[in-house]
């Protein structure tokens, strides 16, 4: 069922390896997930530590199955095809993100460090964004953008589920962002829309939609997106370009055309063997090709580029046209601080180290310190959603619950994933409970899952109606 023009081209590209490549389409694809290093339990251990690789090189034992490591991805693990991690309560708690193993490579190549300003320009559904956020470790700023509104909503939901606090989600065109963020970012990931040839084994629709004409259209679109990304990268910054296609026109061709237009950029060579990618050299020196007949994953291409130049002393980045976001004075947040005193410990959820409160209608957000103004942009999530300020009271958000650890909350109620109570909660049902009345952080296997409110021996369910599923 593969297009003949595609097969003919792949035969020319691969030569003697073509047969091995073709055999992969009859094989079962590999499935993987990343454990969330941002998610912590009452002991302060992250989900990656609790469920990750055991000492002595043994396979990891998780909350639902036995895992084995993805060599090129931190906290990445293959899981067995008989498992269904997407239907497990731990998935809803953000303990892991299900992600195709090859798709984990580009974010690793970006070299993100805590404190960086990072842009994921074509970010939906959010796998790479959540991977980058984990590398920031809560420090710095992450802008996750998606041009398609429906996909941008899914992106925002995944950022929330993984408990990310220092990210902003926008629904804008790359050109619109480039107008406002000239030279602002330290690191940019461009996982470009492509013809999707590397996903033919995974996605039959991509195969049906393929044509040589679509490959050319994708290449033209990729050129435009890279132009926008180049404007937003600061001198000395790093850009990673990736696709999930085999077409050279969209892969090495896109990089060659970009370098012809931008001599200030150079390819930063990638040591694929050291990453665990094996023989993965692309047709352009320093670039990487992930072949399904050589690795345990689907087809991918990636290239790392560095922009020449150094930052001037005292540089802070330029943000034209949108100014500074208007913040909310703490004196106007009495209901919120009352909630914090009664239900949270220490300064969790409060504006410290340069973070600021911003308000959209009745909704209160905690914006990371490096987040610029957003006026005029389509914003879905301007930082961590704290909750809604209502008349004489504050109602905490689901996002706040997922960003907390049990040690952050005054009242905690823990459920076990293997028992019926966890499914009951995710279905939106109440359950009997005894204790002090008030807000409770509901957890599963020691990790936050949502809110409940105890009164009269009944835990009222505050799990969002839109997320409830019969299990």
Residue 244 bears catalytic tag? yes
**Range 253-279 burial, b when 16+ CB lie within 10 A, else e:** bbbeebbeeeeebebeebebeebebee
What residue ranges in 108-174 does DSSP mark as E strands? 117-120, 141-145, 167-170
Catalytic residue among 63, 144, 244, 443: 244
Give the whole-angstrom CA distance, residue 11 versus residue 48. 41
Residue 243 tokens, joined: 């696709």
Residue 234 tokens, joined: 């600061």
Give the helix/strand (H/E) hosting 306: strand 300-307
Give the whole-angstrom CA distance, residue 79 versus residue 84. 9
Give the whole-angstrom CA distance, residue 302 versus residue 107. 10
Going by C-beta distance under 8 Å and a sequence separation of 6 or more, which residues neighbour residue 162?
A: 36, 38, 39, 94, 97, 126, 130, 133, 402
Give the whole-angstrom CA distance, residue 101 versus residue 389. 41
Give the whole-angstrom CA distance, residue 150 versus residue 154. 7
Q: Which residues participate in catalysis according to the annotation?
A: 244
């Amino acid at each position: 069922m593969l297009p003949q023009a595609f097969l003919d081209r792949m035969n020319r590209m691969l030569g003697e390896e073509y047969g091995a490549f073709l055999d992969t389409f009859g094989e079962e694809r590999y499935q993987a997930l990343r454990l969330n290093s941002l998610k912590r339990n009452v002991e302060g251990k992250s989900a990656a530590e609790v469920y990750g690789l055991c000492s002595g090189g043994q396979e990891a034992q998780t909350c639902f199955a036995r895992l084995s490591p993805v060599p090129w991805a931190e906290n990445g693990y293959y899981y067995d095809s008989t498992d269904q991690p997407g239907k497990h309560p731990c998935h809803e708690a953000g303990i892991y993100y299900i992600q195709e193993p090859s798709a984990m490579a580009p974010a690793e190549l970006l070299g993100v460090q805590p404190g960086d300003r990072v842009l994921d320009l074509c970010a939906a559904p959010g796998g790479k964004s959540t991977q980058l956020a984990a590398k920031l470790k809560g420090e710095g700023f992450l802008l996750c953008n998606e041009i398609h509104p429906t996909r941008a909503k899914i992106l925002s939901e995944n950022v929330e589920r993984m408990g990310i606090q220092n990210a902003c989600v926008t629904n804008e065109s790359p050109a619109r962002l480039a107008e406002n963020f000239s030279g602002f970012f330290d690191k940019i990931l461009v996982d470009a829309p492509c013809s999707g040839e590397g996903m033919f084994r995974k996605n039959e629709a991509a195969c049906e939609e393929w044509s040589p004409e679509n490959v050319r259209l994708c290449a033209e679109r990729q050129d435009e997106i890279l132009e926008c990304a180049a404007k937003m990268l600061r001198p000395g910054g790093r850009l990673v370009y990736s696709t999930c296609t085999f077409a050279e026109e969209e892969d090495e061709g896109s990089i060659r055309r970009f370098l012809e237009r931008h001599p200030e950029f150079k390819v930063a060579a990638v040591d694929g063997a050291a990453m665990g990618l094996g023989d993965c050299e692309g047709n352009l020196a320093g670039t990487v090709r992930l072949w399904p007949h050589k690795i345990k994953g689907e087809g991918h291409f990636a290239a790392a580029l560095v922009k020449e130049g150094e930052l001037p002393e005292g540089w802070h980045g330029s943000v034209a046209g949108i100014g500074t976001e208007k913040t909310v004075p703490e004196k106007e947040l009495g209901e919120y601080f009352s909630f914090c005193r009664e239900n949270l410990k220490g300064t969790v959820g409060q504006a410290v180290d340069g973070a600021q409160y911003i308000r959209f209608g009745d909704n209160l957000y905690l914006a990371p310190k490096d987040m610029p103004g957003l006026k005029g942009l389509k914003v879905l999530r301007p930082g961590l959603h704290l909750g809604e300020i209502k008349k004489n009271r504050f109602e905490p958000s689901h996002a706040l619950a997922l960003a907390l650890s049990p040690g952050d909350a005054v009242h905690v109620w823990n459920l076990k994933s293997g028992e019926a109570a966890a499914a009951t909660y995710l279905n939106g049902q109440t359950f009997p409970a005894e204790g002090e009345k008030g807000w409770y952080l509901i957890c599963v296997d020691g990790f936050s899952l949502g809110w409940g409110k105890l009164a009269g021996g009944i835990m009222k369910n505050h799990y969002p109606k839109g997320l409830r599923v019969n299990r």
